[in-house]
Amino acid sequence: MASNTQTLPKKLVIATRASRLALWQAEHVRDCLIRLYPSINVELLKLSTRGDEILDRSLQKIGGKGLFIKELEYALLDGRADLAVHSLKDVPVDLVEAFELTAILPRAETRDAWVSNHYADMQALPHGAVVGTSSLRRESQLRRLIPHVTVKPLRGNLDTRLGKLDAGDFDAIILAAVGLQRLGLADRIRGFISTQDSLPAAGQGSLGIEIRADRSDLKQLLQPLACSQTTACSLAERAVSRVLGGSCTVPIAAYATIQDNKIHLQALVATPDGQEVVFNQASASIDKAVQLGEAVAHALQMQGADHILASLNQTGHG
pLDDT, tens digit (0-9, with 9 covering 90-100), for 121-133:
999 999 999 999 9
pLDDT tens string 25-39: 999 999 999 999 999
- pLDDT band (50, 70, 90) for residue 272: confident
Average pLDDT, the chain: 90
pLDDT for 189 equals: 98
Left (φ > 0), alpha (ψ -120 to 50) or beta: where does 205 sit? left
pLDDT higher than 50, residue 145: yes
- pLDDT band (50, 70, 90) for residue 24: very high
pLDDT tens string 278-316: 999 999 999 999 999 999 999 999 999 988 888 776 655
Which candidate in 31, 56, 82, 90 is catalytic?
Answer: 90
pLDDT for 4 equals: 47
Domains of the chain: 2-105+206-226 (3.40.190.10), 112-193 (3.40.190.10), 237-314 (3.30.160.40)
- pLDDT band (50, 70, 90) for residue 195: very high
Active site residue 90: yes
Residue 207 identity: L
pLDDT higher than 50, residue 226: yes
pLDDT tens string 86-123: 999 889 898 889 999 999 999 999 999 999 999 999 99
- pLDDT band (50, 70, 90) for residue 58: very low
| Average pLDDT, integer, range 170-176 | 97
Residue 76 and residue 242: Cα distance in Å, rounded?
24
